[in-house]
Structure formats: C-alpha cells, structure tokens
Amino acid sequence: MPELLSQAEENYLKAIYKVSRRDGTPVSNNAISVEMQTSAASVTDMINRLSQKGLLNYQKRRGVSLTEEGYATATHLVRKHRLWETFLVDKLQFSWDEVHELAEQLEHIQSRELVNRLDEYLGFPRYDPHGDPIPDAEGLMAERQQVALSQLPVGQLAVVVGVKDHTTPFLQYLERTGLLLGVQLRVSERLDYDNSLQLVLDQGTTLLVSQKVGQNLFVQLK
Amino acid sequence: MPELLSQAEENYLKAIYKVSRRDGTPVSNNAISVEMQTSAASVTDMINRLSQKGLLNYQKRRGVSLTEEGYATATHLVRKHRLWETFLVDKLQFSWDEVHELAEQLEHIQSRELVNRLDEYLGFPRYDPHGDPIPDAEGLMAERQQVALSQLPVGQLAVVVGVKDHTTPFLQYLERTGLLLGVQLRVSERLDYDNSLQLVLDQGTTLLVSQKVGQNLFVQLK
DNA sequence: TAATAAATTTAGGCTAGTCTAAATAAAAAC
DNA sequence: GTTTTTATTTAGACTAGCCTAAATTTATTA
Ligand SMILES: [Mn+2]
Ligand SMILES: [Mn+2]
Ligand SMILES: [Mn+2]
Ligand SMILES: [Mn+2]
C-alpha cells in the first residue's frame, strides 16, 4: 500500500528509522526534533499525521516506533539514497564527500521501476560509497560484523569498511590521509596521553590518527 | 542570481516558456491556466510572485513575458528535463514513451554540477529521445528546419526528426508502426477523402497514416 | 452602441508544514 | 517527597499553493 508521501513525511520517516537503528527502543519526540532540526511542536504534528497513515505506532508521551509499512518505506528510501550515491560516484565521477546532499534530493523521486533499473545498471551493488549496505528490492541488506577502529586490539589486522561520520570534512580528511575503504591496517600502538592511534597501513606506511578519527571509522577483522 | 525556486514556481515558468516559445508576444493568464490545469485565480497569484522575483514582466490584464532571468531559468529546466529523458532511454533502457513523467520529477533536482556531469556522461547529446533539442550549459540549442509530415510535398524524400505530440499513445503508435526518429520516407500519395497519407519507408515498405499522425510528426527534407 | 461573453482580479477559505509561547506531564535532583 | 528541570502537547499564527465564488474589466457580437 504505498500511499503517496510528501518529501517532508519521507524525511521524518527516514529520521525515525535512523534514530531507532541507533538504540532499538521507541524513539523520543526529542530525538526526532534534534535529528530533523525542527521544533518539538512540528514533530508532534507530523507524528500524528504519520501514525494516522499507519506508518508509526504512537502513544502519547511514550515515543514512536515504525510499523511494518513504515519500516518498509524507510528502508526503500535508504535504498534509493544509497543507490543514487553509488551512481553519482561510480558513473558521474563525483567524490564520496560530494554526493550526500544530492542523494537527499534524488531519494524522493517516485518510481520503483527507476530504482530497480538503476540497481541493475550499477550491477546490484551491495554497499554504497561510504560502505553502508544497500537494501535490495525486498528491503534486505547485508549486515557486516564491523567494529570501530578505536576498539581494534593492538596488532590485529583489519580492513576499513565504513564511516560513522558522513560529513564532508571527515571524508576529505580520509581522502587526504589515504585511509579509504578497502585499506588494510593494524594498530601498532595506542597512545595513552590522548588515545590517539599509531597505524600501519597496507604497504607499511604509518599514520597517527586522533581518537575522534578512531571512533568514526569502521573496520572488519581479517 | 539563481534564487531558490519551488517546484511549483519552476513548473509555472516552464509552462510560460512553452506557451510563449520566445516569440515575444505576451502570454495570457488563460493560456497558462489551461497549460497548468489550475484555476485562473491561482495563476494570477503565482504570476504576482514570479514577477515580484524578477522572473516575469507583468502588467495587470496585459499578459506576461519572461524576463532575461526567467528565460534562462526556464531554458535550464528544459535542459535538465531533456538530459534526464536521454539518460533514462540511453542508459537505463526505458522506452521513449515512459520517460516524460519521470523527467518531470528529475528536472527539479538542484545542481548545476550534476547536470553538467550528466551531459558529459551522455556525450553531450544535442537531441532528446523525442527529437527535441537539448540546450547546452549556456542555454543555446540547435534549431532545426523541420516541417510537419502533413506539409511534405508528394515525392519529396525526408527523414523523421521529431514529434509534436508527446503523449504515450502516440509514441506507442509510432513504435508499433516503425515510424521512428531517423526513418527515411516519402509521401507517395495524398488521399483527398480524409487527408490521409500513403508513405513509402526506408526499405520500400508502405504505410498509410491519418492526417492526425501527419500533423504530429516532424520531418526534415533530404 | 448596447448587450453578452470571456478573461482577469479580488475576496475569502482550505491544507500542509512550519514556528513561538504557554500549559502540562514526566523525570531528575534535592 | 517536594522541587526543579526537561519533554511533550496545545494554542495560535504564519506562508505557500491551491480552490470557489463574486466582482470587474475587456472583447465579441447583435
Ligand atoms: Mn548520504
Ligand atoms: Mn552513503
Ligand atoms: Mn518530457
Ligand atoms: Mn522529450
């Protein structure tokens, strides 16, 4: 039953999806208003409309959760967002730090057929340019056992598979330091003074990164 | 000075562009309301807003025309629309009768960079899947000396270069009869009874088409 | 020219989506 | 167990875009 949703409604759904993935419990009005950068009053308003449409479970003052339909709709939005980002990087040669805002627009284009053809055109990619998994046409996506770089035991070989922080400055930092997806590394030393990490990369080059960087990079054990 | 325009504002601009086709003569409120399928009151309302923004020249009860900026904006919308249609057909294998509605959505995506990269990715096409010229980044587009098939003298060799009617039924009719862009033909006979036309195509196959078809196909003399 | 028709504007109203300010409920701190 | 703080809802207002109905102006026709 894909009712037509406005872009505003879609953005709220996506925000609720995003916040609820972080913990799992019902999402507070407040968390949504922070994520959406709107007033709490606007959130209450929109929550009422979305639960009216059967996309949210909502009890006054007890938080909201996505219904089955709301979850599917949000997942489809994520699918579109990540496929468009992949298109922009793979086909139009955009850099991975330039595509998010564009995908925020493109994700609202309405056409299942277009999304599926785009998916096929891109070769059914499983991850987007930031390493985030792309849901398939049924809404299923890969779940990777990944860990923050800051949690990686010293000496353990691992490979960079994703970013937690998607902002342009962080992505450009990674670009300049060569700490990109697919790079293999190990932590050679953890410096107690400021929790910075001494890394040894692929070809033996070394790199010192701050705690903040370590917390925002996802790696997979090798 | 590309102020941010809403989709509604952009659609009105495009409608005015389409109705006026740069012939200078002011466009009537009524023509816009027919093109947009909205009430005359809504048109008056929007005209006021767009002339406020410097996109239209407007004097009460004397019709509107596009300003230089309004014209450039409308041309850019047409550029985006036609590039996206070309993308959908050339890259995603959509049929030419399926792409218009999708392009109506995609044309509102805001990013000069994206449009220019798409243009390059497509090889700087000069015509869209319907034979309509695509404005370049400066807003310039090819002007073809074309004539309606119904005007073509009997015996004159010509090639199909465009359609006047962009509706799905007409495009599907052309698809089924093989009367597609690039096909060479000549009119072997004009039947007085109903002004239908007997055509001889490329490989000598013949085809009888109604006056309505003749009026909605553009050809170029060979 | 006067009457009629068509086009346009004005007036007023509606919904979606936003806001601020105030009221109320729940949670945290004392 | 009060008090204070935070979260949430309510109330009221605003803009963009749309509408219908009525008023007004311009064009057409008798
Ligand atoms: Mn993104
Ligand atoms: Mn991404
Ligand atoms: Mn079109
Ligand atoms: Mn076209």
pLDDT of residue A23: 65
Residue B56 has pLDDT above 70, yes or no: yes
Contact A212, A197 (CB under 8 A): no
**Tens-digit pLDDT profile for residues B120-163:** 999 999 999 999 999 999 999 999 999 999 999 999 999 999 99
pLDDT of residue B220: 97
Structure tokens at B162: 């465009």
B95 in contact with A at a CB cutoff of 8 Å?
A: no
B88 in contact with A at a CB cutoff of 8 Å?
A: yes
Question: What separation in angstroms does the CA of A1 have from each of A4, A9, A77, B218?
Answer: 9, 16, 15, 42
Contact flag A110-B105 (C-beta cutoff 8 Å): yes
**Tens-digit pLDDT profile for residues B156-192:** 999 999 999 999 999 999 999 999 999 999 999 999 9
Task: Spell out which residues of chain B touch residue A89, defining contact as CB-CB under 8 Å.
Answer: none
In the beta sheet, which residues pair with residue B158? B185, B221
Contact flag B102-A117 (C-beta cutoff 8 Å): no
Instruction: For B22-59, give the DSSP string.
Output: T--SPBPHHHHHHHHT--HHHHHHHHHHHHHTTSEEE-
**Tens-digit pLDDT profile for residues B82-109:** 999 999 999 999 999 999 999 999 999 9
A47 in contact with B at a CB cutoff of 8 Å?
A: no
Residue B23 has pLDDT above 80, yes or no: no
Average pLDDT score, chain B: 96
Burial pattern B87-104, b for ≥16 Cβ within 10 A else e, equals bbbebbebebbbbbebbe
**Tens-digit pLDDT profile for residues B66-75:** 999 999 999 9
Task: Spell out which residues of chain B touch residue A114, defining contact as CB-CB under 8 Å.
Answer: 88, 92, 102
Helix (H) or strand (E) holding B88: helix B68-90
Report the distance separating Cα A155 and Cα A222, nearest Å: 11
Task: Chunk chain A into consecutive blocks of 10 residues (it has 222) and report each block's average pLDDT, rounded to whole numbers.
Answer: 88 96 84 97 97 95 95 97 98 97 98 98 98 97 95 97 95 96 97 96 93 97 93
Contact flag A111-B102 (C-beta cutoff 8 Å): yes
pTM metric for this prediction: 0.94
Task: Spell out which residues of chain B touch residue A111, defining contact as CB-CB under 8 Å.
Answer: 102, 105
Q: How far is the CA of A54 from the C1' of C28 (A)?
A: 34
Report the distance separating Cα A219 and Cα A217, nearest Å: 7
Structure tokens at B220: 């170029």
Instruction: For A64-123, give the DSSP string.
Output: EEE-HHHHHHHHHHHHHHHHHHHHHHHTT---TTSSHHHHHHHTT---HHHHHHHHHHTT
Contact A218, A164 (CB under 8 A): yes
Using CA atoms in the order A82, A84, A85, A90, what is the torsion angle rounded to 10 degrees?
Answer: 120
Stretch B3-31: mean pLDDT: 92
CA distance A13 to chain B (A): 21
Stretch B193-215: mean pLDDT: 95
**Which residue carries 């003569």 as its tokens?**
B25
B165 alpha carbon – ligand 4 mean position (Å): 10
By C-alpha distance, the chain A residue nearest B104 is: A109
3-state secondary structure of A31: helix
Q: How far is the CA of A40 from the C1' of D4 (A)?
A: 21
Structure tokens at B147: 């004539």
**Tens-digit pLDDT profile for residues A99-140:** 999 999 999 999 999 999 999 999 999 999 999 999 999 999
Residue B13 has pLDDT above 80, yes or no: yes
